[in-house]
Chain A
C-alpha cells in the first residue's frame, strides 16, 4: 500500500514515465513568506496606522497617569479650602486657578478624572462581563431559554434609563457605587443583544461542529471558541461604553444627584461653577473641556479599534 505507484497511466497523452518524484534534497518545500502575527498584533499594527486614534490613546494614558499621580503628589488637596485666595485666575501656584472656596481647580479636575474614568471603565467592565455571559448563553442555548432571557432584556430596554437612574440614586444615596449600579443596570442589554446575535451566527460555523467532534464541553465551545471569534465587535462596543458611562455620570452630578460635594467629579465641578459663571467663566471651562476632550479621545479610540478589528472596515 505504501508503495503507491505514481506512474499509473491516467490517459493516453501521459505515458507512464512522464513524471518522477524529485530526490529529497531537490524538493522545494513550502515557504511561508508572510510573518506570522497574532490577532492582537495585527489589530495593533492596524490601530497604529490611524494617527487620530493613536494620539487619543496617548492622551487617555496621560490623563489616567495624571489622575493617579497629581492628587498624590500635589501640595493641595481636593477639598482643602483657602478662603484668603478664592476665585483666583490661573497662575503658577494654581495652574487652573481656584474656585469660590479657594480650592485648587487643577487638583480637583484631576481628582474628578479619577472618579469619571473609574466610573467609565468599571461600568464598561461590568457590562462586558454580564453582556457576554447573558448574550452568549442566549445565543448558544437558544430555544425557550433564549426566549425568556431575551424578554427580560426587552423589558429592561423598554423602561427609560433615566427613570431607573434617578430611582436608584434616591434609594441608595449619592455615591460612586449607586452611580455605577444605575449606569450598569440598563446599559448591558445592548451588549447582550449584540453578543447573542454574533454567537448565533458563529455557532453555525463548521469549526463549532468540529469542536464538538473532539469532545469539547459546551462551556469551552462557547467561551473559548465562539466568544473569541466575535471579540472584535465586543471590544468596540465596550470601548464606546466608557464615554457614555462618563457622560451619564457627569450629567447626574451636574443635575445634583450624582457624586456629592466635597468630592469632585467633572459634573459636580461644572455645577459648582454655574454660580460664578458670569464673573469667572474659566471655572466652567476646565471641567467641560476635560469632559469634551476625554469623550472625543475615547470615541476616536473606539473608531480606531473598530477599523483595526474588522478587516471589512479598513480603508
Chain B
C-alpha cells in the first residue's frame, strides 16, 4: 500500500524561557499507509501531539522543526521545503481540512464560542468546495446525524457553550471527517465519549480507512487501540520505541519498559 504520510528523522524542538531548549520529538520515523489505521500510544508529554502538529504545520512559534522531512502523498510539506513562510502557509491552507485534517484533544476549546456549531461544520465544507449556504448547513446536520447525534438540526443552531463535551467531540469528529481527507489525525478522539459512541466513531474511522485514507489515532486506552488500530507506535520521551502491527505490539510481553501486559 502506498504511504500517505512519511515522517523521516523528524526532530522538533521547543525554545522555552524556563527550561531552555526542550526536544519534543527526536528523529521520529513513521509511515501512515493508505487503508490502515495507525495508533500512537505513550505517556502524556511523550511528544505525540507535537509530532502531529508538526505534520499539520501548526507548531507554535516557539517550536521549530530542526531536521527531518514530512512527506504527504510524496510532497515534502515541511516549512524548509518552501521558499518562505507565506508560500508554506498558502499551500498548507489549501490542503488542510480537505486532504488532511486533525481533530484536537480538547473539544471544549476547539470551537469558536461565537459561532454556531452548524456554521463551524459548514465552514470546513465551504472552505474547500463550491457549496451554497443552505446546502452546507444541511450537510452539517446530516454529518452530525451520522454520528448518532439526536436532533442534529437543533444542535446545529446551538452555540458550543450550550452543549455537552461529548456532543462537541462528535461535532469535532464530524469536522474531521467532513471532506473525507486522505489523512485524518485524531488526537484522543474518545476522551469525552462513552463506550457506545466510541464504537460508533471507530466505525466511521474504519469506513474512512476502507475508502483508502490513512488514519492516525493518538490513544490512551490500550483496549480501544488494540481493537481499532492496524499498526501501533509506542512513544516515550520523544522517540518511537516500538512500532509494529497491533497484534505484534500488544502481544509483546514487555513493551520496551513502557507497558507490560498484566494477564
Q: Which residues of A contact B (CB under 8 A)?
A: 1-2, 4, 6, 8, 21, 29-30, 32, 34, 36, 38-39, 205-207, 209-218, 220, 224-225, 228-229, 231
Chain B residue nearest to A211 (CB atoms) is B112
Find out whether the CB atom of A216 lies under 8 angstroms from the CB atom of B167: no
A232 to B95, CA, bound (A): 33
Chain B 43-87 near chain A by CB (<8 Å), digits 1 or 0 = 000000000000010100000000000000000000000000000
Which one, B5-13, B102-110, B247-255, is touching chain A? B102-110
Chain B contact residues, CB within 8 Å of chain A: 56, 58, 89, 93-98, 101-102, 104, 106, 109-115, 123-124, 127-128, 150, 157-159, 162-164, 167, 175, 195-196, 198-200, 202-203, 206, 223, 227-228
A2 and B112 within 8 A (CB): no
Pair A215/B94 contact, Cβ less than 8 Å: yes
A17 to chain B, nearest CB (A): 15
Q: List 5 A-B contacts (CB under 8 A).
A: A6-B196, A36-B159, A213-B56, A213-B101, A218-B93
Chain B residues with Cβ under 8 A from A1's Cβ?
Answer: 199, 202-203, 206, 227-228
Q: Which residues of B contact A206 (CB under 8 A)?
A: 104, 106, 109-110
Q: A210-B104, A220-B127 are in contact. List 7 more A-B contacts (CB 8 A).
A: A1-B228, A206-B110, A207-B113, A214-B127, A215-B95, A215-B127, A216-B93
Q: Cα distance A30–B124 when bound, in Å? A: 27
Please determine whether B198 and A4 come into contact, CB atoms closer than 8 angstroms: yes
Q: Which residues of B contact A4 (CB under 8 A)?
A: 195-196, 198-199, 202, 227
In the complex, what's the smallest C-beta–C-beta distance from B200 to chain A, in angstroms? 8
State whether A32 touches B162 (Cβ < 8 A): yes
Cβ of A256 to closest chain B Cβ, rounded Å: 47
Chain B nearest CB, measured from A25 CB (Å): 13
Q: Which residues of A contact B196 (CB under 8 A)?
A: 4, 6, 21
Tell me if A36 and B93 are in contact (CB < 8 A): no
Minimum distance in angstroms from A274 CB to a CB of chain B: 50
Question: In the bound complex, do residue A212 and residue B93 qualify as a contact, i.e. CB atoms below 8 Å apart?
Answer: yes
Which of B56, B93, B106, B167 is close to A217, meaning CB atoms less than 8 Å apart? B93
What separation, in Å, do the CA atoms of A38 and B94 have in the docked complex? Answer: 31
How far does the Cβ of A200 sit from chain B's closest Cβ, in whole Å? Answer: 12
CA gap between A205 and B158 in the complex, in Å: 21
The contact of A207 among B109, B124, B158, B163, by CB within 8 Å, is B109
How far, in whole Å, are A211 and B58 apart by their CA atoms in the complex? 11
The distance in angstroms between the C-alpha atoms of A211 and B121, with both chains bound, is 11
A8 x B223 contact (CB < 8 A): yes
User: A207 contacts which chain B residues (CB < 8 A)?
Assistant: 109-113
User: In the docked arrangement, what's the CA distance between A38 and B113, Å?
Assistant: 11
Q: A36-B157, A215-B94 are in contact. Are A209 and B58 (CB under 8 A)?
A: yes
Distance of A222 Cα from B159 Cα, bound (Å): 20
- A-side contacts of B199, CB under 8 Å: 1-2, 4
State the CA gap A264–B102 with chains docked (Å): 62
How far is A304 from B175 in the complex, measured between Cα atoms in Å? 38
Task: Give the residue name and chain of the A residue nearest to B95 (CB).
Answer: A215
The answer on a CB contact under 8 Å between B96 and A213 is yes
Is the CB–CB distance between B202 and A215 below 8 Å? no
B58 lies within 8 A of A215 (CB): no
Pair A213/B58 contact, Cβ less than 8 Å: yes
B115: contacting residue among A2, A205, A215, A225, CB under 8 A: A225
In the complex, chain B residues whose CB is within 8 Å of the CB of A8: 223
Assembly CA distance A27 to B244 (angstroms): 40
- Knowing A8-B223, A210-B110 are in contact, say whether A228-B115 is a contact too (CB < 8 A): yes
Nearest CB in chain B to that of A29: its residue = B150
A142 → B minimal CB distance (Å): 9
Assembled-state Cα–Cα distance A223/B195 (Å)? 39
Asked whether B195 lies within 8 Å of A215 as measured between CB atoms, the reply is: no
Contact B202 A229 (CB under 8 A): no
Contact A214 B110 (CB under 8 A): no
Question: What residues on B are CB-neighbors of A225 within 8 Å?
Answer: 112, 114-115
Q: How far is the CA of A26 from the CA of B102 in the complex (A)?
A: 36
Between A1, A29, A213, A224, the greatest number of chain B beta carbons within 10 A of the residue's beta carbon is seen for A213
| Complex A-B, nearest 8 residue pairs according to Cβ-Cβ distance, in ascending order | A215-B97, A214-B97, A4-B199, A206-B109, A214-B124, A215-B96, A207-B112, A215-B127
Known A-B contacts A1-B206, A4-B195, A209-B58; A32 and B163 likewise in contact (beta carbons under 8 Å)? yes
Given B94, B111, B164, B203, which contacts A2 in the complex, CB threshold below 8 Å?
B203
Residues of B within 8 Å of A228, CB to CB, are: 112, 114-115
Contact in complex: B150, A30 (CB < 8 Å): yes
Residues of A within 8 A of B114 (CB): 39, 225, 228-229, 231
A217 to B98, CA, bound (A): 13
